[in-house]
Amino acid sequence: MSSDVILEMRHITKTFPGVKALDDVNFAVQQGEIHALCGENGAGKSTLMKVLSGVYPSGTYDGEIHYMGELRKFQGIKDSEELGIIIIHQELALIPMLSITENIFLGNEIVEHGVINWAKASKRTQELLAKVGLKDPPSTLITDIGVGKQQLVEIAKALSKKVKLLILDEPTASLNETDSNALLDLLLEFKKQGLTSIIISHKLNEISRVADKITVLRDGSTVETLDCHAETISEARIIKGMVGREISDRFPKRVPKIGETIFEVRNWNAFHPLHGDRQIAKNINLKVKRGEVVGIAGLMGAGRTEFAMSVFGHSYGQRITGEVLLNGKPVDTSTVSKAIDAGLAYVTEDRKQLGLILINSVMHNITLANHKGIAKNLVIDEFIERKTATEYREKLRIRTPNVYQTVGNLSGGNQQKVVLAKWLFANPDVLILDEPTRGIDVGAKYEIYTIVNDLVAAGKAVIFISSEMPELLGTCDRIYVMNEGAIAAEMPIAEASQENIMRAIMRSGEKV
């Protein structure tokens, strides 16, 4: 390519234990363009950016990074930042109890004779804030401004570091439409001034609005790079690139035997635990039948996890209203133990934080949710416990030398199987799985789908929450689409496709 290529990443391959996150990825960015990076969750977008910024230092991946005409070997973020590569992460890295000025110059303070010159810093902050169109005084605490403004502060911070290549990871994920538009306009404005940016986003309408080029990643490989000026790129075109893979035998076959309705949620409403005016579940109605796998599709932040947790023991949210019915009878699920007794189980999205006691053994974790099953009058029968744990270890093929192994030492896939074993032992009628295959390799995924199939074959019901649409299409009998806390659509598997799901999400977004 010509000399105006600012960044070229060649043949980047990055492996984690058991998973190839990036496989021979090529990625080139021209000086002064806005380049969008698209792909499903887990396609490798964030990993690629972490390789670029030095979070994964040179040597931990294969391939070459050429930036401003030279081969670069970044050892850490500091190296890449010095050359003007700045990443703004999805989870903002601002310190809430510090002021805007303090945040912008954190680690980069304006120092004279060993003392910070706050007057100068404050003046400089004002200039930076003017550039991003923020009128708040520099002494405002971060905690006192909204997410949209925080995003702008991040950009001002990037500008203070003499940014040449700005990378935004899902910048609008938590913004409302007005703030999103303002941010995108700002990016276009900076482009006129010659700034190059890379934007990672799920929101395809935004991408088609600002991007000059679009690179699509899928399963850790580059699929294609589309030039938005050479042809008109429709959203459907991007989706096709993102999800274009064949769904062959990545999913075990199952002949559905669907019975009567076993689980039903009626008029479910819940509000955010801290921001009481934000509704996280909006009048949700949902039905699951015996022997059925029902998927809940949606983008990150659609409110699926929040909904599931609010149902399961009111574990999330406040002012929860609505009805839960099991086998046609209303049940109380207001505490986790009541929900379990009623026949519900919920496999959490975040297995390390919410699913497992990492410092305890496989055996103790498996039996944690059902002590009644291993104890008589509070006294644990060690032999029954061991027998139980060993059975599940064999049944789910948990790869561990013995059940006394500390769970923290197992691989992600095996940890996930331990969480599953825990809930299977609790013997629920309805099992809610929240992103059960996140971060685990293809083989373990297959085994987890098999477990799901076995469960429904035994007459139970499964609610499958996943951000990976092929997974939902491959395992479910029916799919609900959720967006912004509400059910946006319901479709039987025959009518469901990735395009349809995406369309449902976007349409519901437009309505709001």
Partner 1 sequence: MSTNNAPTADKQSQQSIAVFLRQNVREYGLLIALVVIMVFFQVVTGGVLFKPVNLTNLVLQNSFVVIMALGMLLVIVAGHIDLSVGSIVAIIGAVAAVMMVNYKVDPWTTSIVSLALGAVIGGAQGYWVAYHRVPAFIVTLAGMLIFRGLTLWFLGGMNIGPFPVEFQKLSTGFLPDLIDMGELHSTSLLLTLAIPLALLWSAWRARKLNESHGIEVEPFPFFAIQNGILVAVMLYLGYQLSTYKGFPNILVIMGVLIIFYSFVTTRTTVGRRIYALGGNEKATKLSGIDTARLSFYTFVNMGFLAALAGLIVAARLNSCTPKAGTGFELDVIAACFIGGASTTGGVGKITGAVVGAFIMGVLNNGMSIMGLGIDFQQMVKGAVLLAAVVFDLYNKNKG
Q: Where does this chain bind partner 1 (CB under 8 A)?
A: 312-313, 315, 335-337, 339-340, 346, 348, 353-360, 364, 368-369, 371, 375, 378-380, 382-383, 386, 402, 422, 426
8 A C-beta contact, residue 207 and residue 199: yes
Looking at beta carbons only, is 293 or 339 nearer to partner 1?
339
CA distance linking residue 509 with residue 413, whole number of Å: 34
Looking at beta carbons only, is 106 or 380 nearer to partner 1?
380
CA distance linking residue 44 with residue 241, whole number of Å: 14
Q: How many residues does this entry show for the chain?
A: 512
Looking at beta carbons only, is 145 or 354 nearer to partner 1?
354
Helix (H, G, I), strand (E, B) or coil at 86: strand
| DSSP assignment string, 198-263 | EEE-S-HHHHHHH-SEEEEEETTEEEEEEETTTSPPPHHHHHHHHH-S---SSS--------SEEE
* Placement of tokens 């996150």 in the chain: 21
Looking at beta carbons only, is 107 or 401 nearer to partner 1?
401
| Least separation in angstroms between CB 280 and partner 1 | 18
Looking at beta carbons only, is 283 or 390 nearer to partner 1?
390
The residue type at 65: I
CA distance linking residue 237 with residue 241, whole number of Å: 7
Looking at beta carbons only, is 60 or 402 nearer to partner 1?
402
| Least separation in angstroms between CB 444 and partner 1 | 20
- Give the H or E element holding residue 330: strand 329-331
| Least separation in angstroms between CB 356 and partner 1 | 6
As given in the structure block, the two tokens for residue 238 are 């991007």
| Least separation in angstroms between CB 400 and partner 1 | 13
As given in the structure block, the two tokens for residue 467 are 């951000």
Looking at beta carbons only, is 177 or 404 nearer to partner 1?
404
Alpha-carbon distances, residue 226 vs 36, 38, 66 (angstroms): 10, 11, 21
As given in the structure block, the two tokens for residue 494 are 């025959």
| Least separation in angstroms between CB 308 and partner 1 | 11
